Amino acid sequence: MASTSSHPKIQYLQRQAASLLLYQSVLQGEVGMAFIDLLQAIRYTDADARGCLQAYGSYFHALAARNQNWEDYIITQILFCDNPFTKLAQQQKFQDLSPALVAAVGHDLQVLQSLYECSSAALSEWVQNVAHLPISPVVWYEEPKKLARETKFAAYLQELDNWGDAVEELAAYYRQYGSGLFAQYRAFRWRSGQFIGIPYPDPVKLSTLVGYESQRDALLKNTEFLLSGEVALHVLLYGSRGSGKSSLVKSLLHEYKERPLCLLEVAKSDLKDLPEIVEHLRGVPQKFIIFVDDLSFEEDDDAFKALKVVLEGNLTARPQNVVVYATSNRRHLIREFFVDRPAPKDNDEIHAWDTMQEKLSFSDRFGLTLTFEPANQKTYLNIVSHLAAEAEINITQEDLEYQALQWATRHNGRSGRTARQFIDFLKADLKLFHGASNNTSTTEDSN
């Protein structure tokens, strides 16, 4: 059994944890469950205390795996929790929320405060006492590495004697930053009917993309409309391969890292789920760009019909926080064959020309079409020079341009993608084999 002094405290904490009304998920993850198991093991210690020591090891391991302290874990779980209160708080004014719901949150915050105050150091001392160890087990501690907004809210809670007084402030937090998965990540993909957070999105930055300034400016302006709550247009980025269409869309995450912009990648095979996806996003505080890369359709494709509904709308009002940005190498997104074109002898369909025009005009349903022409030699070399300067490559301009043109000839032609591949290769080659003087023919020799 646990020592006389710790026994009532452990019982109290167990009752508190069991009484949660809305925030049960805080204790349902690996760390939370390890904490509960450890309380149980301390309270009912076996003769040699092995179970207690193993439970403490599991608790320590769970915190170490997250690289997070117990106190930080409690705070982040409160802020990321998904429950009826967090969802309604994003959509309703605080005074319009159910009094019972507000009271339940106040109760849960008091409970979580008592758990927060049960530090890892205190648990380690209890384990030492019940296991009769000469020294207490190692206490997990890591310097907090929270986001600025989490740090600010944690500081606010620490100033309160009673966390139950923070309900209105917490509701305001959810209204600004959202909850659940959307509060944790800014990049997502839709897979098997659910959102998957992307912890490490593509780091491409807008400053590395040159050569298509007018297209970039138009996309930035439309994105500003979205972020400002104005009606933003769906965008089709069409043009030659490797021109930076996808990179331009992905760079928006970093360009607006201080704004509530999220990027949701949807594969062509999942476009049939678009109406469902849009309804999930309706009413959340973040602004979403649904990103569809390399878009094209076959005739009678279900994905085509689903996208058409989202672009054109139906009886349900379009949410103002969602737009579609799609890239394609094809101006006409639905494949058309000569056999599709109606001839006077055709007697299968009376209005065959109308059908063909619907196929050809599908891309017009995007409010904004940005065209990316193939890079000419001047544009290609400008991109190369810009990337070389950012990479701090120190060779003469003449050598750089010569090697860049040789690379384009022997690889994938002139494009932004080819320029990036050339610079990445050249940078690594110069770093490993030392000195620009010996590298003038590098790209030639490597072929």
Q: Give the 3-state DSSP-derived string for 230-269, with helices as H, strands as E and coil as C.
A: CCCCCEEEEECCCCCHHHHHHHHHHHCCCCCEEEEECCHH
All structural domains of the chain with their residue ranges: 7-178, 196-372, 377-445
Phi/psi at 369 (nearest 5 deg)?
Answer: -115, 120
Q: β-strand 368-372 against 287-292: which pairing, if any?
A: unpaired
Q: Do 443 and 406 touch, CB atoms closer than 8 A?
A: yes
Q: Do 255 and 347 touch, CB atoms closer than 8 A?
A: no
Amino acid at 266: V
Q: Do 295 and 333 touch, CB atoms closer than 8 A?
A: yes
Amino acid 311: pLDDT = 75
Q: Where are the alpha helices (DSSP H) in 241-396?
A: 245-255, 274-281, 302-312, 352-360, 377-390
Which top CATH class is 196-372? alpha beta
| Token pair 């930055």 in the structure block, residue | 205
CA distance 361 to 97: 46
- Give the bridge partners for 155, in sequence order: none
| Token pair 């490559």 in the structure block, residue | 393
CA nearest 185: which of 200, 169, 171, 174? 200
Amino acid 299: pLDDT = 55
Cα of 210 vs its chain's centroid, Å: 25
Structure tokens at 423: 């610079």
Q: Do 429 and 442 touch, CB atoms closer than 8 A?
A: yes
Q: Do 299 and 337 touch, CB atoms closer than 8 A?
A: no
Q: How far is CA 10 from CA 2, 42, 50, 123, in A?
A: 9, 8, 19, 10
Quick one: residue 244, left, alpha or beta (phi over 0 = left, psi -120 to 50 = alpha)? left
**Hey, how many other C-beta atoms are within 10 angstroms of the C-beta on 96?**
8
Q: β-strand 194-197 against 368-372: which pairing, if any?
A: unpaired
CA distance 127 to 141: 17
Amino acid 350: pLDDT = 45
Full pLDDT tens readout for the chain, 447 residues: 455 556 789 999 999 999 999 999 999 999 999 999 999 999 887 777 899 999 999 999 999 999 999 999 999 999 999 999 999 999 899 999 999 999 999 999 999 999 999 999 999 999 999 899 999 999 998 876 656 677 788 889 888 999 999 999 999 999 988 898 998 899 999 998 999 999 999 888 888 788 788 899 999 999 999 999 999 999 988 887 777 888 899 999 999 988 999 999 998 888 888 888 998 998 889 999 999 988 875 555 566 667 777 776 665 667 889 999 988 876 554 444 444 445 554 445 444 434 444 444 556 678 898 988 888 888 889 888 988 888 888 888 989 989 999 898 888 788 888 888 998 899 898 888 755 444 444 554 544
In this structure, the chain runs to a length of: 447
Burial class (CB in 10 A: 0-12, 13-18, 19+), 413: middle
CA distance 408 to 106: 64
